Structure 1
Amino acid sequence: MRILLWHVHGSWTDAFVRGRHEYLLPVLPEGGAWGLGRAGRNWPASVREVDLAALDADSVDAVVLQRPEEIGEVTRILGRTPGRDLPAVFVEHNTPKGDFPFTRHPLADQHTIPIVHVTHFNRLAWDNGSAVSTVIEHGIPDPGHLYTGELPDLGVVVNEPVRRGRVTGTDLLPAFASVAPLQVFGMKTEGLAVATGIPTDRLTPRGDLKTAELHRELARCRVYVHPMRWTSLGLSLLEAMHLGMPVVALAATEAPRAVPAEAGAVSADIDELLRCARRLVANPEEARRRGAAAREAALERYGLGRFQDSWDQLLADLGSSLSATHRPEERILVPARERKTP
């Protein structure tokens, strides 16, 4: 199949485009959210950058939507309406914002585009109405068992921890820094020491490293800390588990399902998490043993093969279900994107 999708969520896309299809990624000269293309990623040759305005509409077999505005964009430029005359599915990456647990999904109650949630918690948390919804859990390209744990540090991966604050558990970092020095990886980690009051000798912002370097450097840390309060299941957590790292995670959203007890600790009791982190830092052999359990669990539930098989089945069903689910009287009410066409 030739599948159209925007490069929105880099880590999820990294797994998705390693499948058995041809993937068409819109690109614009200025890049940005609507034209990122491959963005220099080392992806298979089956991933092609395309000028959406010049794309032959009939060459697209299906579209994987990730933002409601994409429905109107595809209709306007290609002249084919997702869910009507173009097989389509909507991937929901995020936990709901706003009036939880009453937050309505933008595609709630329509019957032409199925909603695929990346975690069971997300499906439960969103009000999908009568829309068809399902779950395809994350898949991770296995980076290998790289864990050394040679540094008695705690590793954290979080993007924009200063701006996102309590959402990402940034306020919890000083407590963890009292246990062991922190290495914090991710975008816009500068200014984190000032924002949290953590002494610079207890916190090292590592910035946004390339994937291979991130895996190598993160795997040197003794323990992985996942302090997220209200984010969808972070792929960095699953990557750390694949690396063979022991995990100390806040028991929020999907983390209790993803992290088995033998991999470390999952709890809403911060003191319990701190005790476990302290014990693992002081006991490298226990840390290594629990990291091996984390890797085993991650490979079983979040392996790339299972992820690709699930998506292949869903994509195969899209075309055949299009005519069966078509209801001419229905309208998909989503906001149009306001921007000038380049």
Structure 2
Amino acid sequence: MNILIWHVHGAYTEAFVQGAHRYLLPTLPEGGPWGGGRAGRDWPANAVERTPDQLADDDVDVVVLQRPDELELARSWLGRTPGRDVPAVYLEHNTPGGPAATTRHPVADRDDLLLVHVTAFNDLMWDSGTTATTVVEHGVPDPGHRWTGELPAAVAVINEPLRRGRVTGTDLLPLLAGPAGIDVFGMGTSGLGTALGTPSVRGMGDQPQQRMHAELARRRVYVHTARWTSLGLSLIEAMMLGMPVAVLATTEAARAVPPDAGVLATDPDLLRRGIAELAA
């Protein structure tokens, strides 16, 4: 099949394009949110960049929508209306951004789209009205069991921790760091410890995925602090690397993390003690 999908969530798209289909990734000269293409990623050859002009001539079998504006972009670029002239699904990566249980989904009450959630928790919390929904759990390519734990530190992956604040549990990092500290990888993490006023939280910056996996695996324990998220793909990657984990037991994490994988709690003090025990 020819599948039109925008490169929105890097780790998700990384896994998605490993399949046996042909993936059409819109590209624009300026790049940006609507035309990032492959963005230099080392992806299979069946993940191809396509300009809007090329898409108009492509035989697209299905459109995977991930943002409301893509409905109009797809209609304009393809010359076909998603859900009417070409099959379409709307893939929802995120938990509701408004009130937890009452936020209406942007494609609620539609009979021309299938709304796909990446976790059962998301499906439960979004108000989708009469739109048909299903759950296709997201995953990652297996990075291999690589954990050594040679560095006596905890580690987390949080993109834009200062901007996202309490959503990603950034405020919990100083409490959880302990004597060994927490190394935090991801976009916008440089200078994180200074911003939080604690040297025990060390911002490591953004790194290519393969290099980051190698660095994660050298630390003793992976820490997942998100209060409100679908399910962090970096958490899945850490468990597949063989790392013990300390996880805030919110959203889908309470189901996805088995008890023997580490410590799972909503009490930050229990997490702090668990991290210290695992690091030791």
TM-score by length of 1: 0.80
1:270 positional shift = 1.1
Structure 2: 5+ residue stretches without partners: none
Letter in 1 for 2:166: R
1:196-254 Cα distance to aligned partner (Å, 9 max, x none): 1112xx23211110011000001000000001001221100000011000010001111
The residue aligned with 2:61 is 61
In 1, are the aligned partners of 2:161 and 2:168 still within 8 Å (CA)? yes
Alignment check: 8 A CA contact 1:152 1:221 kept? yes
Written as runs of structure 1 = structure 2, the 5 A alignment for 1:326-337 is none
- The CA RMSD over aligned residues, in Å, is 1.0
Of 206, 211, 214, 1:213 maps to 211
CA contact (8 A) 1:149 1:221 kept: yes
Deviation at 1:118, TM superposition (A): 0.5
Q: Is the 8 A contact 1:57 1:80 kept in 2?
A: no
- Tell me how far apart the structure 2 counterparts of residues 226 and 263 of structure 1 sit (CA, whole Å): 13
Q: Which residue of structure 2 aligns with residue 127 of structure 1?
A: 127
Matched, 1:279 2:271: no
Aligned counterparts of 2:82 and 2:8: Cα–Cα separation in 1:
18
Q: Which of 1 and 2 has greater Rg?
A: 1
> How far off is 1:55 after superposition?
2.3
Q: Is the 8 A contact 1:179 1:274 kept in 2?
A: no
Identify the residue that residue 231 of structure 1 maps to in structure 2. 229
Residue 95 (structure 1) aligns with: 95
- 1:15 aligns with 15
Amino acid at match of 2:192: L
Aligned-partner Cα distance in 2 for 1:13–1:53? 23
Secondary structure of the 2:231 match is coil
How many equivalent pairs are there? 280
Is the CA contact (8 Å cut-off) linking 1:57 and 1:79 kept in structure 2? no
Distance 1:97 1:25 in 2: 26
Q: Cα distance, 1:53 vs. partner?
A: 2.5
Q: Post-superposition, which runs of at least 4 consecutive aligned residues in structure 1 deviate over 2 A?
A: 53-58
Q: Which amino acid aligns with 2:114?
A: P
Task: Give the superposition deviation at 1:269.
Answer: 1.1
8 Å CA contact retained: 1:222, 1:280: yes
How far, CA to CA, are the matches of 1:185 and 1:169 in structure 2?
A: 14
Measured against aligned partners, the alpha-carbon deviations of 1:56-106 in whole angstroms (never above 9, x if no partner) come to: 445111111101111111112221110001010010000101122110000
Equivalent position of 1:328 in the other structure: none
| Separation of aligned partners in 1, 2:225 and 2:78 | 43
Distance 2:53 2:129 in 1: 34
Q: Which structure's residues are more often helix, by fraction? A: 1
SS in 1 for 2:255: helix
Structure with greater strand percent: 2
CA distance in 2 between counterparts of 1:44 and 1:101 reads 39
Answer yes or no: is the 8 Å Cα contact 2:118–2:137 preserved in 1: yes
Q: Measure, in 2, the Cα distance between the counterparts of 1:124 and 1:261.
A: 23
Q: How does 1:240-259 map to 2 (within 5 A)?
A: 240-259=238-257
Residue matched to 2:264: 266
- Does the 8 A contact of 2:145 with 2:242 survive in 1? yes
1:219 match: secondary structure: helix
Deviations 1:112-162 (A, max 9, x none): 110000011111110011110011111210111010001110000000111
Higher relative contact order (CA 8 A, sep 6+): 1
Unaligned runs of 5+ in 1: 283-342
Provide the C-alpha distance between the structure 2 equivalents of 1:278 and 1:235, rounded to a whole number of angstroms: 24
Measured in 2, the distance between the counterparts of 1:72 and 1:193 equals 42
Alignment of 1:1-342 (within 5 A): 1-57=1-57, 59-199=59-199, 202-282=200-280
Query: Hey, what's the Cα distance between the residues in 2 that align with 1:206 and 1:178?
Result: 17
2:56 and 2:77 in contact (8 A); partners too: no
Q: Distance in 2 between matches of 1:195 and 1:205?
A: 10
- Give the secondary-structure state (helix, strand or coil) at the position aligned to 1:83: coil
1:252-293: CA deviation from partner (whole Å, max 9, x where unpaired):
1111111111001111011111111111111xxxxxxxxxxx
1:180: how far off? 2.3
Contact 2:186–2:205 at 8 Å: present in 1 too?
A: yes
The percentage of counterpart residues that share the same residue type is: 60
